[in-house]
Chains A and B, each alone.
Chain A
């Protein structure tokens, strides 16, 4: 067999089209006869709709129809937050009450985008305002205004450990902390959109920017009561998702409903202001926690309470604290954990997954606690972590999560060497003693991640024709480079050149089943599925080769020249493409063999995989202005076996940027009346090239026992590991000023107020 290309930094097959501007995103598609939808959104955070005047808009040039809750308000989306009261189901357009500023109250459909948008400004909704609650801690209280009176409480879901025993009682040292993991926005550079194309027979082809076409199809056909088989959902190239494009949106479902009603293609493209107001936000958790330890710094117990802000309707954001709980032990041996959480509705945009989805929240709190414990006991942050690491695997934590494999100390040591930890401490000492204006802070964060936490099943297929190999995947790449890595995997199994392999994804008509891309699941699940399919293809090819060469199957092997034939007889080899030609004719096949040379495979993984690592950040603090600059960041991540180092490192780089962004810059701000204060990119600050330093990356490799590849997820690790390292670094820099804890984002204004 040829040399394996696995593990090599193979350049991406996707990139030539992207650098030429030939990527095809939904807004780039041109469809004859398509009409445009524009949205009218509630300016109020909470109110009862008393009337909507659509007369003027209906008469405006080019307008085809104006739709309100009267038309589509009865359609409600399935509630993903299991256990929430049925009255909390989200309508695809408000019919009675609006619950956040930005909620849809009407849509205008017109012959052009401009006409739809112009007419949308002529729709006049009237409201009776209702009392507003923005802070979930207040919303959870007794006297708060209720968003869903029928549910009886704004606490719509809850979970965790019921024990009355205090896990911290008797501890020699107790560290308490209240921490806000602030609400942030995902900001994929391509905002939401949809293009719905009906045919004369009542079928609908719906293009949406989504991380999972199957999930979108299932929620949409259920919402609208359509026949599942009449709805085909597809996604072309997509400009980022980061979790916010997992669940379909009301606007996308309306496009589908209106296209079916009008019998014309309907399209919608969100603008950035709408995107900040209406795309789901992430994080938004309030933590109250106590950690108990011995005087030597061994953790004895953890008591953790979370209030999760679900926003106006309980989507995933209301229940992601369940994932936070699964991560509560982090990489540490913690004998007793009590973790309780409540998901609360507020008059803000709904929250949902955002890169890490409940898991970065756990790491942030735990890593702050570790540093506070180190300060309390006057230990180095590295030492406190080393003393508490889990060292035996597999093991199950106090919250019941199975950890497959790990070598936590190794990753920490590597990160420490990479960044030059000891030299940095010496430099810090020098600056502190010299009373330098510019102080440095060094922050350590050791983490684990629960990847492929749920839905651990994925489908893949491989089909060989006389001309090409086609790989089908139920995952849905939107920047992750599956066209490259999955074809690498299949090329390796089949012994075929990558340029003869075509990759298909993101289409419910050609992909039988699919979970999509989220939760760092793709390589481990979808990669295992395409490898399984490829291996089945080889088995079938061997059976066919045996039949036509009148040899035993056991004697058929892949020969040194990459062909399949009788062992020891080089001339007997046939290429897979020749065998595909033979396999096309049933007359050539042994009894019981289906024509064609293809196979599918469903990979089911028993448990989540647990990657881990340590990030170390270095910041410089200007003590005269409070300005904090991230000057170095070292990331040592272990995601098991690596198949394309370039792509893995790219995931880490991007993840670090998002973790650092939350640590230093990002925050969605509502005022007390529920008005969004920063609904554009001049006021919602995110990292640019000037904010990010040299990022040093390395890996340890500890395979998992959970899949055939030995691979764990890497998509979210950078975000999970980096944020706490940056936050701890800023606190380390502020240590001489006696600052115990500041919440993110650690802007110069916040830091300045704390140190002056």
Chain B
């Protein structure tokens, strides 16, 4: 297993590493970089728990090879808040009680970030459709839907 060189940006930080070809992106983030905010659950790209952004698009990091981020930028849950201040999506998740055990939450937040960058004012149907690939076993999803819709409003009010 020959190591492969990877040069990437993770949460705005330049990273150059040599990684085994078979290493997944989530292993790279958690084990190489110590970014344990991204969790693993289904290991089959169906539950959305491990979602991160690669070039601002959501991917399942359990089914994405670390070598494939060479020359691209990665954003994880640790890179969502800025200057210690929660992102409006994170704050809306708290305000709407859109989490219980918290294990799926990073994946949902990352997916919501991607959604609102693509569709700043989504309809409830669009939110549901976009989040279909994320599984939560605790909340029953309604509070997550409400949080994302509220976050869209907060972001719109905040933008000039």
Residues of A within 8 A of B (CB): 11-12, 14-25, 27-28, 30, 187-191, 237-240, 242, 271-273, 478-481, 646-647, 650, 653-658, 680-682, 686-690, 692, 694-695
Using C-beta atoms within 8 Å of the partner chain, give the interface range for chain B.
35 or more
Closest to A16 in B: B94
Closest to A15 in B: B94
One of B64-72, B136-144, B152-160 contacting the partner: B136-144
Verify B132–A478 contact, CB threshold 8 A.
no
Closest to B41 in A: A189
Closest to B49 in A: A189
Verify A480–B100 contact, CB threshold 8 A.
yes
How many pairs of A and B residues are in contact by the CB < 8 Å rule?
161
A17, A189, A191, A694 pick with most chain B CB within 10 angstroms: A189
- Contact residue among A14, A27, A187, A272 (Cβ-Cβ distance under 8 Å from B44): A272
CB distance from A400 to the nearest CB of B (A): 34
In the assembly, what is the distance between CA of A25 and CA of B101, in Å?
A: 10
Q: Does B134 contact A (CB under 8 A)?
A: yes
Q: Given A21-B76, A272-B41, A688–B100 Cβ distance below 8 Å?
A: no
Q: Mark contacts of B114-134 with chain A using CB atoms, 8 A cut-off: 1 yes-contact digit, 0 otherwise.
A: 000000000000011101111
- Contact residue among B95, B103, B109 (Cβ-Cβ distance under 8 Å from A239): B103
Verify B94–A658 contact, CB threshold 8 A.
no
Verify A654–B139 contact, CB threshold 8 A.
yes
Q: For A646, what are the chain B residues with a Cβ–Cβ distance below 8 Å? A: 97
Q: Does B105 contact A (CB under 8 A)?
A: yes
Please, could you name 6 A-B residue pairs with CB atoms under 8 Å apart, sorted by A?
Answer: A12-B97, A23-B105, A189-B103, A480-B100, A681-B135, A694-B142
B44, B47, B101 pick with most chain A CB within 10 angstroms: B101
In the assembly, what is the distance between CA of A17 and CA of B76, in Å?
A: 15
Q: Given A20-B77, A272-B44, A689–B144 Cβ distance below 8 Å?
A: yes
Given A20-B77, A21-B106, A478-B101, output 7 extra A-B contacts at Cβ < 8 Å: A15-B93, A187-B137, A188-B101, A240-B138, A681-B47, A690-B132, A692-B142
Q: Which of B35-54 contact A (CB under 8 A)?
A: 35-44, 46-47, 49
Verify B128–A689 contact, CB threshold 8 A.
yes
Q: For B94, what are the chain A residues with a Cβ–Cβ distance below 8 Å? A: 11-12, 15-16, 19
Q: Which of B65-88 contact A (CB under 8 A)?
A: 76-78, 80-81, 86
Verify A680–B143 contact, CB threshold 8 A.
no
Q: Does B34 contact A (CB under 8 A)?
A: yes
Closest to B89 in A: A19
CB distance from B68 to the nearest CB of A (A): 19
User: Across chains A and B, which 5 residue pairs bring their CB atoms closest together, nearest first?
Assistant: A21-B37, A239-B103, A18-B102, A479-B101, A21-B77
CB distance from A371 to the nearest CB of B (A): 24
Verify A682–B129 contact, CB threshold 8 A.
no
Q: For B103, what are the chain A residues with a Cβ–Cβ distance below 8 Å? A: 23, 25, 188-190, 239-240
Closest to B22 in A: A114
CB distance from B155 to the nearest CB of A (A): 16
In the assembly, what is the distance between CA of A688 and CA of B128, in Å?
A: 9
Q: Given A239-B103, A479-B100, A21–B143 Cβ distance below 8 Å?
A: no
